[in-house]
Amino acid sequence: MRILAIETSCDETAVAIIETEGKPPRARVRVLANVVSSQVKLHAKFGGVVPHLAKREHQRNLVPVLLRALRNAGVVSSKLKSQKSKPQPKTQNLETDKLTNLQTILEREPDLFARMVQGVLPMRAPKIDAIAITVGPGLAPALWVGVNFAKALAMLWKKPLIPINHLEGHIFANLLPQNWRSKNFQFPVSSFQFPALCLIVSGGHTELVLMRGFGKYRVLGETLDDAAGEAFDKVAKMLGLGFPGGPEIARLAGRGNARAFAFPRPMLASGSFDFSFSGLKTAVFYTLRGLGKLGVEQKRNIAASFQQAAVDVLVAKTVRAAREFRVKTVMIGGGVAANRELREQLGQSLKKALPAARYLTPDVPLTGDNALMIALAAAFGKKKTARDTSRVRADPSMRLGAVS
Ligand code: KG4
Ligand code: ZN
């Protein structure tokens, strides 16, 4: 089974191609291509992701990213359809139909339409079995470009579509062992043991998800205000650091004293598995106002103390949920899962509290948005293949477990 996956839910334009054999725990997967084109530099100027600019960039980047992925994977049948022989009237009609359909599907993405006519229409269908596409949650204009692109490819190449929840993708990034890059060919995929728990922490989400089986999700708790990554980004802004702020905070924090400032640990003692980060962010704001102009040392200490407060809450709730539901696997996902303190401190706490549980962390380059995780979710999750692609829609506020 060969799956081509597309991800455009936020500011990353990504296409991946994988080849799989068997089912977990014996499944094997070969990563044929994993291309990510980031728009982060563009959005950094605005201090956050601007949805209509994200849409414009996805329209520009999708075709080149797709072509690069197909080339890397070596799955293109032949570069162009033969243009030597005079086209028969029947094939000519078919081509006209395709063009009309393409125009209809990409009615709202004229720039992408033009690029597809040039770069994709003359190509033969590649040797793939299905196209996986992120349908939500995410930014509506960004999601729709990807969804319409996937529908267009499905129509041109006569392939089924697999709609995927973006958060499920973050969970499935944990399936690949850390050394997946160093192996040239196939490798076994370590399977999740159920019940499993995943802490999803990104710029848009903070959720604790219990997984009782493939496709069986229960959201135990989520943020009531800011997402964890959003809090990192906002505090970074207050400190005059660039966007995205998470990596910048982590870098500064590495040289600071995490006990220098006693920031609050919001909802740490509450019985629920929900989170709240806006109070923590406000506490940092007032502390900064009181301090006036900051020295380097103070900046480092603020960053370290803020990071520790956020990590404390995330670790405590994850460990409590892991114990309460007696999970066999604990994992993390999303951009904030790149945070070394979070990864390490969660690992240490789990070792003490639940030594038998398996702790999986995704390879750092796979913590942020990518299409490889979408391909894995499509291959190993409980997916529904949509043969009638007209019914596939973007769902910006999609919940885990909701299969479109
Ligand atoms: O998953 P992701 O790439 O995109 C979303 O779906 O939001 O997550 C991006 C978020 C940003 O808020 C970024 O600041 C944060 O992940 N992030 C980090 C780190 N690396 C990225 N936060 C804390 N520590 C990091 N090392
Ligand atoms: Zn994400």
DSSP 331-369: EEESGGGG-HHHHHHHHHHHHHH-TTSEEE---GGGTS-
Nearest CA to ligand 1 atom 8: 335
pLDDT higher than threshold 60 for residue 285: yes
Which residues form the pocket of ligand 1, taking CB atoms under 6 Å from any ligand atom?
10, 202-204, 229, 232-233, 244-247, 250, 334-336, 338-339, 368-369
Least confidently predicted of 132-136, 180-184, 229-233, 374-378: 180-184
Look up tokens 């100027």; give the residue: 45
pLDDT higher than threshold 90 for residue 360: yes
Q: Are 18 and 376 in contact (CB under 8 A)?
A: yes
Centre of ligand 1 from the C-alpha of residue 33, in Å:
23
pLDDT of residue 404: 39
Section 357-369 average pLDDT: 95
Centre of ligand 2 from the C-alpha of residue 166, in Å:
7
Sign (positive/negative) of CA torsion 384, 390, 394, 398? negative
What does the alpha-carbon distance between residue 256 and residue 263 come to, in Å, rounded to a whole number? Answer: 15
Confidence band (pLDDT; 50, 70, 90) for 403? very low
Nearest CA to ligand 1 atom 13: 246
Centre of ligand 1 from the C-alpha of residue 367, in Å:
8
Look up tokens 């596409």; give the residue: 133
Convert the pLDDT of each residue in 298-311 to its tens digit. Answer: 999 999 999 999 99
pLDDT higher than threshold 60 for residue 83: no
pLDDT higher than threshold 70 for residue 326: yes
pLDDT of residue 182: 62
Most confident of 12-26, 88-102, 126-140: 126-140
Section 250-255 average pLDDT: 97
Look up tokens 């400190």; give the residue: 239
Residue 333 CA: nearest ligand 1 atom is 1
DSSP letter, residue 174: G
Pocket residue to mutate for ligand 1, from 202, 366, 372, most atoms within 8 A of Cβ? 202
What's the one-letter identity of residue 114?
Answer: A
What does the alpha-carbon distance between residue 404 and residue 394 come to, in Å, rounded to a whole number? Answer: 9
pLDDT of residue 386: 83
What does the alpha-carbon distance between residue 98 and residue 371 come to, in Å, rounded to a whole number? Answer: 26
Section 157-165 average pLDDT: 96
pLDDT of residue 43: 87
E strand or H helix that includes residue 333: strand 329-333
Q: What is the largest CA-CA distance in the chain?
A: 78
